[in-house]
Amino acid sequence: MNATITDFVGRPAVAPVSRVEAFIRANEFDRPTLVLDTKAVANQYHALKAGLGRAHIHYAVKANPAREIVEELVNLGSHFDAASRGEIELCLSLGAAPETISFGNTIKRASDIAFAYHAGITLFAADAEEELEKIAEHAPGAEVYIRLIVDASEADWPLSRKFGCARDKALDLLAMATRLGLKPVGFSFHVGSQTRRAEMWTTTLDQIAEIWHRAHAQGHQLTLLNIGGGFPAFYGEAIDHPTKYSARVMALVTERFGDVERVMAEPGRGLVAEAGMIAAEVLLVSRKSNDDAHRWVYLDIGKFSGLAETMDEAIRYQFITDRDAEPTGPCILAGPSCDSADVLYEKRPVQLPVGLKAGDRFIIRNCGAYTSSYSSVGFNGFPPLDVIVI
Ligand SMILES: *Cc1c(COP(=O)(O)O)cnc(C)c1O
């Protein structure tokens, strides 16, 4: 809970993130502001790429669609996973080549498929018959990969239920894609966001490998394995260095799939979370009664203005205050809006300095992913998260 905490086991906080902290400390903010460092994104890209080797990185744009981040990644040679026409247009407008963009959402508007096809995008995801029909009609002859359900995710933010189809059904969809004149090239899955240890991928990879080999036995010449995202960020619990983590994941992939022609990885969080901090402010510290064991600390940012991932207290951010040398006590942390759901941490209270008071600066660490992109336009009149790129 202080600025000198280490980011990875045995490794001090990466210098570029300190640039963000220094910037926040040197400036005043009149609303919650996410400060991002594109150099930190570049460092993280190189670190992940070093472990991923021959796999292509397709940045999951939804994690943070800041133009400067996408532009930096285009320059680094990254590919992109886009979920909508808007994300595709963003990538194209910043110089990404259409053949480096995959349309990875399994729930696409027909007119968006047509738009993507005419823009030169050739790779689409699907997990249902109707989706294949839409793709065959609006992107004839395109390459498709079938998204599989992941049964048992050990991730802190699982994505398992909404996307993908069961493994037996995936075989039917491959056959159907061929009948429709599409090119079924492989499978995709998502192990679950914030999968903290590489070993947690094992069960999922076993499941995917079983169906991969069955598809081959049925004569499908699959060439593409899309391993999705899941690469973790540091939120207080030790994680491996990104190169070590991604190298281990690739070793687990190679053990099961051999030399697949094309491997795609789609990091979102793991690429951008540690590149940003939010400059926030304490609006009120109170107790509900004279013998209340906890203080309530209300911030100028909450669930609706950027901290949606505190839902169910799933993602536990780390904080920096100007009083981190003081003793601490347990606090319930809440946002400013008039909605009782806007409580960030209550089941597991957070330890904050006893002297914390209204007007204090409050820095939220490693929150470059899924904050600005989740912020409402201004629920309850509180301004949406501002973004500054340094
Ligand atoms: C959101 C998403 C990702 C990124 O996941 P992270 O856990 O943030 O790395 C990757 N692929 C798909 C299809 C996604 O929807």
Domain of residue 130, CATH code: 3.20.20.10
Q: Which domain holds residue 111?
A: 38-272
Q: What is the pLDDT of residues 30-44, one digit of tens each?
A: 999 999 999 999 999
Of 62, 190, 204, 372, the one to substitute when testing ligand 1's pocket (max ligand atoms within 8 A of C-beta) is 190
Query: pTM of the predicted model, to two decimals?
Result: 0.93
Separation CA 13–CA 378 (nearest Å) = 33
12 & 61 share domain? no
Apex 150 CA angle, 147 and 155, nearest 5? 120
Considering the domain architecture, whether residues 148 and 51 belong to the same structural domain is answered as yes
Could you tell me which residues come within 8 angstroms of residue 318 by beta carbon, excluding any fewer than 6 positions away? 1, 5, 235, 236, 364, 365, 366
How many structural domains is the chain composed of?
2
CATH label of the domain that carries residue 18: 2.40.37.10
The verdict on 350 and 326 lying in the same domain is yes
Domain end (from 250, 272, 294): 272
Final residue belonging to a domain, choices 240, 257, 272: 272
Q: Give the residue from 272, 299, 334 where a domain finishes.
A: 272
pLDDT at res. 194: 95
* CA of residue 228 to ligand 1 center, whole Å: 6
Residue of 131, 231, 266, 374 to mutate, ligand 1, most atoms within 8 A of C-beta: 266
My answer on whether 49 and 23 are in the same domain is no
Task: State if residue 43 touches ligand 1 by the CB under 6 angstroms criterion.
Answer: no
Same domain, 264 and 354: no
Residues 268 and 166 placed together within one structural domain of the fold? yes
- The response to whether residue 360 sits with its C-beta less than 6 Å from ligand 1 reads no
Are 235 and 290 found together in one domain?
no
Determine the distance separating the centroid of ligand 1 and the alpha carbon of 268, expressed in angstroms: 6
Q: What is the mean pLDDT of each run of 10 residues along the chain (390 residues)?
A: 39 58 96 97 98 97 98 98 98 98 97 98 98 98 96 79 90 98 98 96 96 96 97 95 98 96 98 98 96 95 96 95 96 95 96 98 97 89 92
353 in the same domain as 331: yes
Domain identity same for 71 and 121? yes
197, burial (CB in 10 Å: exposed 0-12, middle 13-18, buried 19+): middle
